[in-house]
Chain A
């Protein structure tokens, strides 16, 4: 299978988004995919036994990236890509699906669980998000500020440190502790 590292613009794109210049979201995703292709491949090789499965998984990840162009905050896109890759690898590992079955499944159920149209899934997702949000709200404001600045303002940790007048290590620590709190919440509630 051809590695989707440098896909050409989609001529069928109805809104011309792919032709809309280097700042279009889909272009940003493509650049991101090219940037992460090496890391993704290394990551997936650790989880899948066959190189062809790695290629298939990369293909699926790329398709899902394009399907989710505007749904993910720019700062969280790398993390999102690896999460999708991990989910897809886990699914492939569990089912040991062939390439054909894998792609067939993608055609039938292209969205990952978080994008489900199933109302029950949406309720569960909403409830999970609410719990995580509540958990983050129990953090000191200084920690939440770092999370918000990093994820939603897309500031680097160095910029955050400069902005808040704190050492870089402190900014990293606050982010890490916020994520630790989420991890605890997820573990305790089996989210």
Chain B
């Protein structure tokens, strides 16, 4: 290697070193001492000024030329990820809620007696074919009977028949379209007769 090549290599190395220094300064990566030295040199070195100016132009150009490919800041900092995380959380909570509902349903199902009526009572199936007017009438009749009798309220409560029993006692030939008041009266009369018999 001859002298001129050596000088050129040294010159290139020096330029590279100065370019690196300018880059580090423009990116704010020089420590305070190096920064002070650089700025002091800047005041007295026109070539360094030119190089800094050129580097600043190239860096801003690079920033402009690559801005389209850059991800938005909120994506880079995980906001979108956290948003999708929120959706995942909602989905997980929904799944847990569904599991709990299913478990409760299973518990409810297993706690019921294994008769035909209970088998029909699931959360997803409608109530068995009850005649609402009949139920209301029987309840009304029971309350009338309690009012008429001399027994206290606790005995009335004790005498209240379970709903399933009421359903079982429902006459099969009862016309479901009857007015509920007639049913109530007849039911009340039955109760009174039973009391009379008991007495």
Contact = CB atoms under 8 A, between A and B. Distances in A.
Contact of A151 (B19, B52, B59): B59
B66 A80 contact: no
A132 B55 contact: no
B56 interface: yes
Given A129-B64, A135-B65, A176-B23, A79 B59 contact: yes
Interface string A7-41: 00000000000000000000000000001001101
B197 interface: no
Chain B facing A: main interface SS: helix
Contacts of A133: 65-66, 68
Contacts of A158: 29
Contacts of B52: 43, 82
Interface stretch (B34-42, B117-125, B138-146, B164-172): B34-42
Given A78-B26, A82-B26, A176-B16, A152 B61 contact: no
Given A79-B55, A79-B56, A45 B61 contact: no
A186 B59 CA distance: 13
A135 to B, nearest CB: 7
Given A46-B42, A172-B24, A182-B62, 13 more contacts: A38-B39, A47-B49, A73-B63, A73-B67, A78-B27, A79-B26, A132-B62, A148-B70, A152-B66, A176-B23, A179-B23, A179-B58, A186-B61
Interface of A: 35, 38-39, 41-43, 45-47, 72-73, 75-76, 78-83, 86, 129, 132-133, 135-136, 144, 147-148, 150-153, 156-158, 172, 175-176, 178-179, 182-183, 186
11 contacts: A42-B42, A46-B49, A73-B67, A78-B28, A83-B53, A86-B56, A148-B69, A151-B70, A152-B63, A176-B23, A186-B58
